[in-house]
Structure 1
């Protein structure tokens, strides 16, 4: 189901909690609340393709950022500074 709901938080956990609250409230309003006369339209609607495009662009950029951070750590060994001395 696509509800086109957004949540923003200072952390991933906060954003998830806010989104869960929004979904619960949306479903309650559509099924039992003031909007129950419009339940089929509210529960079966699809998010606009523009929203999906933005989602996938952000997801792609996040994955690229994570990959570049991982590659940066993997290929940057600690190299001692100063001249090398033979024992």
Structure 2
């Protein structure tokens, strides 16, 4: 795995549960993923934002924790 792949792949490994991918991409390039860990809130996160340039040059992915039924709000927040 290259360094360019390592950070986005963290999203797939986070919380030790398999991701559920949303069918739509944000801007045609960013995947939205939902994770439902046992005993935890639903986490909606990005995979691919780290490939986009930032002013600081830092690589980031985004995550929002929500209650079930609030996934649409999480997508807007991302």
Structure 2 length normalisation: TM-score?
Answer: 0.26
- Higher gyration radius (CA): 1
Greater helix content: 1
Name the structure, 1 or 2, with higher relative contact order (CA <8 Å, separation 6+).
1
Query: Higher strand share goes to which structure?
Result: 2
Normalization by structure 1: what TM-score? 0.24
